[in-house]
Amino acid sequence: MYYFEDTTKKVHKDDLILPSSAMMYDGVYLEKMIDGYRTLAITGREMLSLDIETQETQVGSIKLNQKLPSRTIKVTYQLIGKDAKDVQKKYHQLMRLLYKESDVEIRFKDELDYHYYGQYKSTDEVRGDTNSIISSFEILCTDPKKYSVLLKTDGEVTTYLPYKTIPEKIEVTIVKFGPLMIVNGEKTIKITSYNLSAGDRIIFDFLKGKVYVNDIDQTFLLDLESDFENFTIKEGQTIRCTNGQMIISYREVQL
């Protein structure tokens, strides 16, 4: 997609027509933060190659292991300034926006329902004596998967889930005095050595690895043989709760 700017008219940042591949990095579009910045192309979002370890045999080979490598997203951009000094000033702005010490959420305008987690890694060298530059930088996603917006269900999993999916959170409002079990047909999360009370709000937070009872960390209540750490969901499952009204929050995972 090509973008032609009328230099005789000042365009407010909020009125910019963003390219379809514009990147939202940690919640902001770079185009809206830096005058003269424009996304030209994005690569690295397509199909991901696998790392497959094999051992040669007399006929063919035997597969020993399969891994998902990290993903590198390359952003090609244009940066225009009044002069070379102005471009250097804008590079300082760009670096301040891109530099992070941990992964941030990354979205693209043509696929806002999904996001990656990654951070700025490296950049191409650029000339310092011009006011118009086309270059690129790379973002490393150590987790190569992309995630959908947050989805919720009370037990029936109907979403297409081609890969192993760990819920983000399961919330249960207890309806009667007694224990609690959550079952997916293969794994079970259990609180059976302690009786919960009607009205108690239980949160199984899989991102933090903790269990909260009425907003207080009570992870110790989990049974030792509970499957909390390896509880997953998949398409077609019906997740059942033995005591309460349940809401499961999860994201569709894609490569």
**Average pLDDT for the chain:** 90
d(CA 40, CA 21): 8
* Residue 175 and residue 97 in one domain: no
Q: What share of the chain is helix, strand, coil (3-state, %, to 5)?
A: 10, 45, 45
Give dist(CA 155, CA 160) in Å, integer: 15
Could you tell me if 28 and 138 lie in one domain?
Answer: yes
Q: What is the pLDDT of residue 8?
A: 38
* pLDDT tens, residue by residue, 98-138: 999 999 999 999 999 999 999 999 999 887 788 899 999 99
pLDDT at 16 (0 to 100): 67
15 pLDDT exceeds 60?
Answer: no
167 shares its domain with 233: yes
Of 126, 144, 162, the one marking the end of a domain is 144
CA angle 18/20/26 to nearest 5° reads 70
Q: Are residues 112 and 88 in the same domain?
A: yes
Asked whether the CA dihedral 187, 242, 160, 139 is positive or negative, the reply is negative
The residue range of the domain holding 246 is 148-254
Q: What is the pLDDT of residues 234-254, one digit of tens each?
A: 999 999 999 999 999 999 988
Q: What mean pLDDT comes out for the span 82-92?
A: 92
Pair (152, 168) in one structural domain: yes
Q: Residue 37 belongs to a domain with what CATH number? A: 2.40.30.200
Q: Are residues 163 and 66 both part of a single domain?
A: no
**Residue 117 resides in a domain:** yes
Rounded Cα–Cα distance for residues 177 and 195 (Å): 6
Q: Give residue 5's pLDDT.
A: 37
Residue 3: is its pLDDT beyond 80?
no
